[in-house]
Amino acid sequence: MSEPNPDNPRRTRRSALAGAALLVTAIPILVALLLNGGARGVQANPTVAPLHLSPLASSPTPPLPDLLLPPGTGALVARVQHPTKIRSAPGGRVFATLPTHTGFGTPNTVWVAKRSGTWLGVVSPVAGNHRLGWIPASDAALSRVNWEIKVSLSARMVTVLHDGKAVEHYLIAIGAPTAPTPTGHFAVTDRLNTGDPTGPYGCCILALSALAPHHISDWDGGNRIAIHSTPETSSIGHDVSHGCMRLTLPEGQWLIDHIPLGTPTLISS
């Protein structure tokens, strides 16, 4: 048998390829040794560089649970189910108690002018003019009314709307310069029969949440403002009242026959 020939070109090429493969395998090991201390050897517990992560944006605050609202598009009204604390803001300071009935004995039904989650911003004489009081929705029964009253003091006119359409226009008397009718957003609180159509309030009174800055004489409502009938029809169209709005007896009767409690009432100059 002949001896292997070291000058055999095939064998030389195979040896070169094997050496190259060995070198490739050794490179990562050499790099690791250099990165971890070189001649000192690989550390048993190499230190891991800390991660630098940007904080995640905070998740948006979930909205407050909404109410199960009654169907329809009319104004939302709330009938007070039991005496409830009325607050200056949702969950805010308590400033009064909203009773179940008005001073006239009517079930207390208030216009819900604003909502915040399960809180109701209501228009009530307890809160006062130009101010909302807040009550929890759990203390009230919700419904809707499709009526609205608009009063123009300059025109001496009441306009009644149903489903957004004007259905009645009544000429009225308004407050005298010394006892002006207040302006703002109010609501109907009581529908009252006087039992004496010849008296100063005629047959019928539609009491509002509006408050006058003065006491109104011959009136059990204190400083409450109302739309009421009068037998003194000569006063209609003039600014002569103590702040209330006057109209004829048939018109007053029509109002208390048709207008629900809680109906929004806008009085503008």
Residues involved in catalysis? 228, 244
Under 8 Å between Cβ of 79 and 107: yes
Mapping DSSP onto H, E and C, the string for 46-60 reads: CCCCCCCCCCCCCCC
Q: Is 117 exposed, middle or buried (0-12, 13-18, 19+ CB in 10 A)?
A: middle
Residues 6+ apart with CB under 8 A from 37: 43
Phi, psi torsion values for 249, nearest 5 degrees: -60, -50
Integer Cα distance of 107 and 101 in angstroms? 4
Please give the structure tokens belonging to residue 97.
């108690």
Integer Cα distance of 156 and 140 in angstroms? 35
> Would you tell me how many other CB atoms lie within 10 Å of the CB of residue 89?
12
The one-character DSSP state at 126 is T
Residues 6+ apart with CB under 8 A from 245: 151, 158, 172, 173, 174, 181, 225, 226, 227, 228
